[in-house]
Amino acid sequence: MGTLLALPALAVGTGPGLARQVLTWQPALAGAEPWRCWSAAWVHFSPLHLGANLAGALMLLLLGSVARLPHQAAVAWALAWPLTHLALLGVPALVRYGGLSGVLHAGVAVAAVVLVRQPGRPPAERWLGAALGLGALAKALSERPWGAVVVHPAGWDIAVAPVAHACGLACGLLAAAAMPLPRVGLRSRSSSPARPPGSSAG
């Protein structure tokens, strides 16, 4: 998952070229051009935007490796990826969106839910998952996603769409909550460990 998110984002870069026209999320084109549900994550609007999101992706991948999240976590994250952008159909005022941040919020939610839910996890890891989830929720709420569709936070050179972060968090939570999880340490073809999770707004 991390490779599918990070490498295309690096390849697309931050230039104002054709990629922005054909890859960004645009609700008016979602039905005719469904690939935008995935490709929007690869488009970034400035080097700062791209760098911050790549750093976030790296941190998620490290968390997944250290916490030994099962491959079901990666499946849940993959499901949440397009759902995060489809959820933006409910916000037609967001006419264009790009960036990894919504999908990264989904990955944080997946990691948190798996740490809390997976059978056999020690209490310390469950508490870590709970803290991670509550921290992500507090961040999303502090951004007031029910308010302005795009905001211009200090220190950023792009507009930010808080609602995309909230959509990612919700979709990641739902995908992970619905995913059957193997007991920690149980190895089989169906439960062998794998790497997980790892606006013009972003």
Q: What is the pLDDT of residue 192?
A: 45
Q: What is the pLDDT of residue 199?
A: 44
Q: What is the pLDDT of residue 197?
A: 55
Separation of alpha carbons 134 and 140, rounded Å: 10
* pLDDT, average across residues 108-129: 97
pLDDT category, 194, cuts 50, 70, 90?
very low
Going by the DSSP 8-state scheme, the letter that residue 155 receives in this structure is T
pLDDT tens readout for residues 130-163:
999 999 999 999 999 999 999 999 999 999 999 9
pLDDT tens readout for residues 26-41:
999 999 999 999 999 9
On the CB side of 195, CA atoms within 13 Å amount to: 11
List, in order, residues 6 or more apart from 59 with CB less than 8 Å away: none
First-to-last CA distance in the chain? Answer: 19
